[in-house]
Amino acid sequence: MNCKRCGKPLPNRGVTCKFCGTLMDQEQIDYQRKMNDKHNERIELLSEKYGRENNIEYRKPKENKALGLAVIIIVLLFLIILTILINVIR
């Protein structure tokens, strides 16, 4: 299908003419979608393109509030003991 303004061929993707910048009308967009569906173009993942597997696992992080509280208490106790020892040595 050609652009109604400049007469040049419309791109396979997008909604504007790449030559003059005119927006396609609904009929042209529908034709473009029909042609893309007809050719059954499949989106290729980057991992497929470059031959790597996607081994990413998405998990929700677990909250361990008790462990966090224990670490804070241990650090505070260490700082208190360190402060006492510094004052005793002087």
50-87 per-position pLDDT tens digit: 665 556 676 777 778 888 899 999 999 999 999 999 99
- Reported as a single tens digit per residue, the pLDDT across 2-47 is 888 888 888 777 788 888 888 888 888 888 888 777 665 566 666 5
CB-based burial of residue 4 (10 Å sphere; 0-12 exposed, 13-18 middle, 19+ buried)? middle
Q: Tell me whether residue 68 is in a domain.
A: yes
Is residue 17 within 8 Å of residue 10, measured between CB atoms? yes
Q: Tell me whether residue 75 is in a domain.
A: yes
Q: Measured between alpha carbons, how far apart are the two ends of the chain, in Å?
A: 89
Q: Residue 60 belongs to what domain range?
A: 55-89
Q: Tell me whether residue 7 is in a domain.
A: no
Q: Tell me whether residue 16 is in a domain.
A: no
Total structural domains in the chain? 1
Instruction: Evaluate if pTM is beyond 0.75.
Output: no
Q: Tell me whether residue 14 is in a domain.
A: no
